[in-house]
Structure 1
Amino acid sequence: MSEYRLEVRGVTKVFPGTRALDQVQLQVRPGEVHALCGENGAGKSTLMNIIGGVFPPTEGEILFEGAPIAPRSPKEAQDIGIGFVHQELSLCPHLTAAENIFIGRLPHKGGMIDFKRLWADADMVLKQFNANFPSSALVSELTVSEQQIIEIAKSVSLNCKLLILDEPTSSLTEKETARLFDLVKELSGRGISILYISHRMAEIFEICDRVTVFKDGTYVTTMDTGDICADDIIRAMVGRELGNLYPTKSSCIAADDPVLEVNGLTGSIFREVSFALRRGEILGFAGLVGAGRSEVMRGLCAIDPIRSGQVVLNGRPCAFHTYRDAVDAGICYLTEDRKTQGLFLEMSIKNNMSSANMKGVSHGIWLDDKLERSLANGFVEQLAIKIPGIEYPISSLSGGNQQKCLIGKWLSLAPKVIIMDEPTRGIDVGAKREIHALLRQLAESGVGVIVVSSELPEVIGVSDRVAVMHEGCLAGFLEGEEVREENIMKLASGEQLAEKELRQ
């Protein structure tokens, strides 16, 4: 019996013009929760796609329970005992939970689908995970957390022995994340190996036994999590001391120079929201999931309708009827969901970078390729975006470089106010540092910056002031030494802060 459930030996993968993996190795033990870390572009996804049967390696071998394997499709990988839950869940939204779990192997009776048996079998599988929804529920009506349970249940029902989880908590609440961790520990206790891909250090140290680090397509090290700290992983990932994750905050923001004023903004799930954004400041928005942070931003930009309220930009009241109106006035919103709402994934990097500023790269109705290339290359250089070329599809880039392209797309309009919703979701620690520095540069150039983030360390580290929301209302503002995690959580939970807490 092999010591390892999965063993990767000297795997290399070459794509045209790039070596994505170079002689990497990985060993995962039975029942182990093993983290795989690395900056975006380190080769993690490439290796997972090889293990999952999406494409073959150029050289090297993979052993599963001591035997060589070479899955030629995801189906073959499933048959071997490998389950893969992608960051973007791959369920059929208009089918039921039961149909998704048993898709491709639905029970039949008399030439017809035996729904009675299907629901019974699915309920039995879901019961193992304490699911609080029926197997007959449509996937489109379930939360992301519940959909994730279906993906995991599907793999377990196929008797998987190795489960790959790719950034599984990126769209989950704290409560849902805790539930997932309980599930991971339960599966590990059954002897199922978990390969856990994440950028979140706290998660790695909470549930993982060991961690392997890749850098630039090469293997760096494997370490026991009990013997190391987060800085050890970060040093291995970036190959250097990272320095401060957050840039120095501004010390000279004029309180009487607002670039944006929002008065009494009311929408479907938020009410009477008023705040001012000072020129050159980064204003953070914090709050629990469902508090209405993103909805306020979408409302003030006219992406979503509002019932009442006023937006004042540089002292002039504005009446936005469409998002285009807001953009033309100088307010840009960078969505939290860059892949489905922010970028055109199958289009080129060049086309994505110019897509918000067609007037700037056109003559009448004709696109000027020279202007488009100049715009794209300018922001690639300015934002230090790592790309193979501007004609490549933007889907080929890492999450951090996609986010930089999205920022460049809107900076091409020279906005007065830029709103960033979850600016570093799903990107590695090195790219986070670069984006945090970019936000500070924008603020210092006079752009008003609003950051909406679910990560409290990010809100605290990057913001000059923090607005905290609770159940659709602004619960309060924190500034200077008041900006502490405990104060944010108290306001976000509906508690009032004592005067002494604000002064501490």
Structure 2
Amino acid sequence: MTATQDKPDTATAPVLRAVDVTKVYGGTQALKGVSLDIVPGRVVVLFGENGAGKSTLMKILSAVESPTTGQVELDGKVVEFGSARDAADRGISIIHQELSLCSNLSIQDNLFLGRERTRGGVLVDRAAERSLATTVLRRLDGALNPDLMVGDLRLGQQQLVEIARALLQDARILIMDEPTSALSAPEVAVLFQVIRELTAEGVAIVYISHHLEEALDIADDVAVLRDGSMVATAAAADVDLAWVVRKMVGRDQDDLFPAREPKLGPVALEIVELSVADPANPDRLAVDGVSLTVRAGETVGIYGLMGSGRTELLECLAGRLHADSGEIRLYGEPVVGTVRRRIQTGLALVPEDRQRDGLVQTMSVGQNLSLAALTGFVRRLFVNRTKERAAVQTMITDVTVKTSGPDAPIGSLSGGNQQKVVIGKALMTGPRVLLLDEPSRGVDVAAKADVFELMARQAERGLAVLFTTSETEEALHIPDRLLVLVRGRLIADLRAGEITRDQLMSLADSADTTEEASQ
């Protein structure tokens, strides 16, 4: 794609190009003659559904994969990288969607893993590493200490460490695959400022995101992949959200949200004055005196940004965190005990981080689906594999997982289909209340529509559905009732259609400001 907007003092010749690139895996053609120009000092945003070929194209540009046909050009010359390290040494850095950090190492050790700074090529220069680590972390998040263990960080902070590691490589071309999927709004604002500073220095950015509006804010140019083909390119100033959605999925955005008339039953879940300490700071309450109800057949959404307490609330309900005070009732009966006990009672959680908390990467699709419900297939100390396999196959069909079969590796699935597996895993336990923490995180527009439709079907079957989201469009369109959570406190309880996007954002911002002023 050739740049169509003028920027002063910025080169217009592409620094990196994909030219008629195809990629074939067995009988599957992942890319079909794709061409893309990446220009210094500009941000090109690459849109597409899961399976459209985005990650495959980025792997080819960063030398993780080689094209079947076609070529890659660097500085106007055809290039064949020997390895991903070779590409990195020549200025191409990539931030992968799934984190690749070592949880048992400190932030500093992760930042320089495999690229240690040395004195004389022998001794690791810890002082130099610390100075560089402190500088880059201050640029992204002044609160992060290089000595902190990565395993102790929340997901958004781990994402910032991944970004910091890429920034330390002094890349000429920086590829960002879903860099904001776990970031709060303030963290996104900081990242966007860093991106603009990098482009001002002549760095070329390729940016992939399922947050469409957010990505358009940072884009100079846009490109859309669908089914392995480049279907559209344009200047960001010439397109809008509706255009992007139509090019991606061939239908309007309004058609992606399920319309339904809920049939409400009795109160299934009741929370009374629940308070939960922040696991990272026990002196602070992550959830502060929250009370709410969810009825059978009802979908209730909790809108909250990072730090609002949304994850801590759901993890407490599921038994993963201890409540400091308050009560949880399921159909009038107190809920107590371990995670396993609560699953048996009828509470099932779909966690925010599906890779870390929802899936076992060494297991197959079927094994992941049946894992939480495995005791239900045990007879006299033996697992009834026939019964288990039949239940797994039924669930694959029910949640519409696109897979070659139950024995397929979980890693062979797209992000959207992996998320369906995590939801299916929860449903196989036979819950009466389904808890979902950011269920659309890291999945594309069409996969989000599938997830929302799946949630709606469960509510129609009589389940009580409680989910969290930081996406305003989801908050406005999906739930029958919307709760707004700010700094651990519920500040609004709204019916569908009672609030606009601007009003919702203003409500959250004003409450946040009021809370800060009172401290």
TM beyond 0.5: yes
C-alpha spacing 1:146/1:10, structure 2 compared with 1 (3 Å): same
Query: By how many angstroms is 1:79 displaced?
Result: 1.5
**Secondary structure of the corresponding residue to residue 83 of structure 1:** strand
1:30-75 Cα shifts (integer Å, max 9, x gaps): 2220011110011111121122222222222111111112223221
Task: Work out whether residues 257 and 477 of structure 2, in 8 Å CA contact, stay in contact via their aligned partners in 1.
Answer: yes
Q: State, as a whole percentage, how many aligned pairs show the same letter.
A: 36
- 1:422 aligned onto 2:431: no
**Secondary structure of the corresponding residue to residue 235 of structure 1:** helix
Partner in structure 2 of residue 295 of structure 1: 312
**Secondary structure of the corresponding residue to residue 19 of structure 1:** strand
**Secondary structure of the corresponding residue to residue 355 of structure 1:** helix
C-alpha spacing 1:282/1:274, structure 2 compared with 1 (3 Å): same
Measure the CA separation in 1 of the matches of 2:199 and 2:329.
Answer: 54
Measure the CA separation in 1 of the matches of 2:489 and 2:28.
Answer: 50
Opposite residue 88 of structure 2, the aligned amino acid is Q
Correspondence 1:55-454 to 2 at 5 A: 55-93=65-103, 94-97=105-108, 100-101=111-112, 103-109=114-120, 111-120=122-131, 129=139, 132=142, 136-138=146-148, 140=150, 151-152=162-163, 154-241=165-252, 243-250=254-261, 252-253=263-264, 257-268=266-277, 269=285, 270-315=287-332, 317-454=333-470
C-alpha spacing 1:278/1:108, structure 2 compared with 1 (3 Å): same
Query: By how many angstroms is 1:101 displaced?
Result: 4.0
Query: By how many angstroms is 1:369 displaced?
Result: 3.0
Opposite residue 228 of structure 2, the aligned amino acid is G
Query: By how many angstroms is 1:179 displaced?
Result: 0.7
**Secondary structure of the corresponding residue to residue 288 of structure 1:** coil
Task: Work out whether residues 479 and 496 of structure 2, in 8 Å CA contact, stay in contact via their aligned partners in 1.
Answer: no
C-alpha spacing 1:225/1:490, structure 2 compared with 1 (3 Å): closer
Partner in structure 2 of residue 6 of structure 1: 16
C-alpha spacing 1:124/1:484, structure 2 compared with 1 (3 Å): closer
Task: Work out whether residues 108 and 130 of structure 2, in 8 Å CA contact, stay in contact via their aligned partners in 1.
Answer: no
Worse-matched range after superposition: 412-421 or 142-151: 142-151
Task: Work out whether residues 437 and 469 of structure 2, in 8 Å CA contact, stay in contact via their aligned partners in 1.
Answer: yes
Opposite residue 344 of structure 2, the aligned amino acid is D
User: Over the residues paired in the alignment, what is the CA RMSD in angstroms?
Assistant: 2.7
- 1:33 aligned onto 2:50: no
Partner in structure 2 of residue 456 of structure 1: 472
Task: Work out whether residues 84 and 163 of structure 1, in 8 Å CA contact, stay in contact via their aligned partners in 2.
Answer: yes
Measure the CA separation in 2 of the matches of 1:98 and 1:416.
Answer: 44
Measure the CA separation in 1 of the matches of 2:324 and 2:358.
Answer: 26
Count of matched residue pairs: 492
Task: Work out whether residues 249 and 463 of structure 1, in 8 Å CA contact, stay in contact via their aligned partners in 2.
Answer: no
**Secondary structure of the corresponding residue to residue 430 of structure 2:** coil
Q: Could you list the runs of 5+ residues in structure 2 that have no partner in the other structure?
A: 1-10, 278-284, 513-519
**Secondary structure of the corresponding residue to residue 442 of structure 1:** helix
Partner in structure 1 of residue 7 of structure 2: none
Opposite residue 262 of structure 1, the aligned amino acid is I
Query: By how many angstroms is 1:76 displaced?
Result: 0.7
Opposite residue 263 of structure 1, the aligned amino acid is V
Measure the CA separation in 2 of the matches of 1:415 and 1:151.
Answer: 36
Query: By how many angstroms is 1:124 displaced?
Result: 6.3
